[in-house]
Structure 1
Amino acid sequence: MSYEEQQADELDAMKAIYPTELTLFNDDDGDGDHKKLLNENQLPKFSIKISSEFNEDDDNDCDKYELELLFQLPKNYPDVGPTIEIFSSKNLEDCDELEIVDILNDMIADNIGMVMVFTMVTRASEWLNTLKERKIIERKQAEEQRKKEIEEMERKKFEGTRVTVETFIAWKMKFDAEMATLAAKNKEMKKDETGKLTGKEMFLQDKNLIDSDLNFADVIAGDDLDVDIKVDESLFQDDDELLAEDD
């Protein structure tokens, strides 16, 4: 069987399997006659769009993965593999596209000499469903991890900081410093309010008060002090009475 016949038969099969998903690109007349392209020695170029399987648990558009593969068959296909490109995709990252292209290119070497487009499209469909499952699991794991982090933050709010000897000493030093600062502020506030010092504060600040007490004692003992001092003699006992009590 010639190359043209093999290519024509495969395109017939692919159009029957993917009637709405297959698009023939170098069809100038738009009649979809791929045999005419082959007769005119034009290399067939077409794309096939595939989608991941739909499940009832799918989260709308987020869980829908699509891939449109672009194939171009060389003149001596299938003895030479086709050229494969990503024409369009949905919900696929760049690394995902590179992954499937590598998988399909590796398949070419294993299928040289046989028509392989259907095999490659089938493999891409399986990969797309596997990718979807993987993405769903990753998304759920990320959501669970986010919830755990939030719960951990909330738990730490109630748990507080674990106390150790080191943390207690650091807290005590800080607390004492704050109390000293607060006491100094309160002292200044009291001075501002009354405008006067307490007796203790006056004594501590003015050392002359110590000498004033001594001077006062000297004045009392001096002859120049005119002080009328009355003594109640009844408060004192006679010497004879004291001796009698001693006996």
Structure 2
Amino acid sequence: MTGTHYKEEQEQELEVLKSIYPDELEELGEGEFRITVNPEEQDSSAPLVVALRIKYTPTYPEEIPEISLEILEGSLEENEHDNFYNDLTNTARDSIGMAMVFTLLSFLKDSLTTFVIERQEQRKKAEEDRIREEIEAENAKFQGTKVTVASFLEWKENFEREVAEKEKATKSLALIKKEEIRKNKLTGRQLFEQNEELAKSDATFIEEGDVTVDISLFEREVDIESEEEENSVLDLVRSSND
């Protein structure tokens, strides 16, 4: 096949493409053009429009043309762009020997439609998951931690251990206080002798001319009362014997 024949076949294909895509096709130079491709279903929140750019090679269609993708609206990740390009290249290789641009355009449109639908579903699912997590977090504030048999038994064990430790500490403190009280228990006279405030008070009374308190008098009075009680008991015993 001569170069003239390749040229004629390329021109014929281009004329057919112009009739099919009158608004989408834009000629960029001799044997070079691009065609805008919209997916069948569009995502209004994240629209995606691309253009398939074709440049005929000298022996096309006996070899694949130069292919490139241009993003006209929206965006693609690098790996997503590479996947589209590789799929188009493989489709072109399978079509060597025949006019293939229409086949490439149809394949690209179907691929874009599938991609947009899947991405939309993924975004919808991600939003639903986010809302569900927020709801679960809010509910957890009011419901508390879900109780299971294992968690209850663990809580019960910890609770009983804490109660036992508190009781042990309380008993130990009570014993310590009781021992302190026993050791520090004083008689009335000891309290009187050790009470610094009382001693100061007595000194004040003495300085002001009050009668001096003689503790021995109190002791004597107690002894007299004791003797009187003993005599009373003896009298009762004698009377009963008589």
- Partner residue, 2:220: 226
- Of 146, 158, 164, the match for 2:152: 164
- The whole-number CA distance in structure 1 between the counterparts of 2:238 and 2:37 is 135
2:236 is equivalent to residue 238 of structure 1: yes
Which amino acid in 2 is paired with 1:130? T
Change beyond 3 A, Cα 1:134–1:226: same
1:47 is paired with a residue of what secondary structure? strand
How many residue pairs were aligned? 195
Aligned twin of 2:211? none
Instruction: Indicate conservation of the 8 Å contact 1:69/1:87, yes or no.
Output: yes
AA matched with 2:127: E
Question: What SS class does the counterpart of residue 67 from structure 2 fall into?
Answer: strand
TM-score by length of 1: 0.64
**Hey, what does 2:94 align to over in structure 1?**
110
Alignment of 1:3 with 2:6, yes or no, is yes
| Structure 1 unpaired stretches of 5+ | 27-36, 38-43, 181-199, 217-221
How far residue 224 of structure 1 moved from its aligned partner, in angstroms, is 9.3
**Deviation per CA, 1:91-146, whole angstroms, max 9, x where unpaired?**
33222211211111111221110000011001111111111111111111111111
Larger Rg: 2
Aligned residue number for residue 15 of structure 1: 18
CA distance in 2, matches of 1:94, 1:21: 25
Q: Which residue of 1 aligns with 2:61?
A: 78
Q: CA deviation at 1:153?
A: 1.2
User: Which residue in 1 is equivalent to 2:105?
Assistant: 121
Q: C-alpha separation between the residues in 2 aligned to 1:136 and 1:242?
A: 118
Which amino acid counterpart does residue 70 of structure 1 have in structure 2? R
Q: Which amino acid aligns with 1:226?
A: R
| 1:69 and 1:86 in contact (8 A); partners too | yes
Amino acid in structure 2 at the alignment position of 1:153: A
- Counterparts in 2 of 1:32-181, with a 5 A limit? 37=30, 44-53=31-40, 58=43, 60=44, 62-89=45-72, 90-161=74-145, 162=147, 163-170=151-158, 173=162
Q: Is the 8 A contact 2:27 2:33 kept in 1?
A: yes
Q: Give identity over the alignment, percent.
A: 27
Q: TM-score, normalised by structure 2?
A: 0.65
**Alpha-carbon separation, structure 1, partners of 2:131 and 2:240:** 96
Distance 1:206 1:76, change over 3 A: same
Query: Structure 2 CA distance, aligned partners of 1:173 and 1:224?
Result: 55
- Are the aligned partners of 1:3 and 1:78 in contact in 2 as well (CA < 8 Å)? yes
In structure 2, relative to structure 1, the CA distance for the partners of 1:80 and 1:150 (3 Å cut) is: same
Distance change in 2, residues 1:101/1:215 (3 Å): same
The 2-side partners of 1:152 and 1:15 are apart by 56
| In 2: Cα distance, 1:232 partner to 1:111 partner | 137
SS at match of 1:112: coil
Residues 47 and 71, structure 1, Cα contact 8 Å, conserved in 2:
yes
- Do the aligned partners of residues 223 and 64 (structure 1) sit closer, same or farther apart at CA in structure 2, a change above 3 Å counting? closer
Q: Does the CA contact (< 8 Å) of 2:13 and 2:99 recur in 1?
A: yes
CA shift for structure 1 position 164:
3.1
Q: Give 2:26's aligned amino acid.
A: T
Q: What CA distance in whole angstroms lies between the structure 1 residues aligned with 2:162 and 2:17? A: 82
Instruction: State the superposition RMSD in angstroms.
Output: 3.9
Which has the larger helix fraction?
2
Question: How far apart, in 2, do the equivalents of 1:241 and 1:82 lie?
Answer: 148
Structure 2, unaligned runs of 5 or more = 170-175, 191-215
Aligned to 2:206: none
